[in-house]
Amino acid sequence: MTKSEIMKAAHAEARKFRVGKAISYAQAISVGLRRAHNDAQRAAFVAAAVLQPATPKYMWLRGW
């Protein structure tokens, strides 16, 4: 995700987080940024893990 996409997602998360809560928007945006950044990092990690080649189930088959 680009920085602008992360910020858009953070603002959307902040709006959802504030519903029914008596907190400031600054607090909500900090939560939104954390959630959006974690989602972006998780997506990148999962994409990298999917691209890894299949490895043998047992270590001795790997040649170690």
pTM: 0.71
pLDDT per residue as tens digits for the range 10-60: 999 999 999 988 999 999 999 999 999 999 999 999 999 888 887 766 766
Whether residue 8 has pLDDT greater than 60: yes
Would you kindly state where each structural domain of the chain is located, as residue ranges? 3-54
* Residue linked to tokens 């959307």: 12
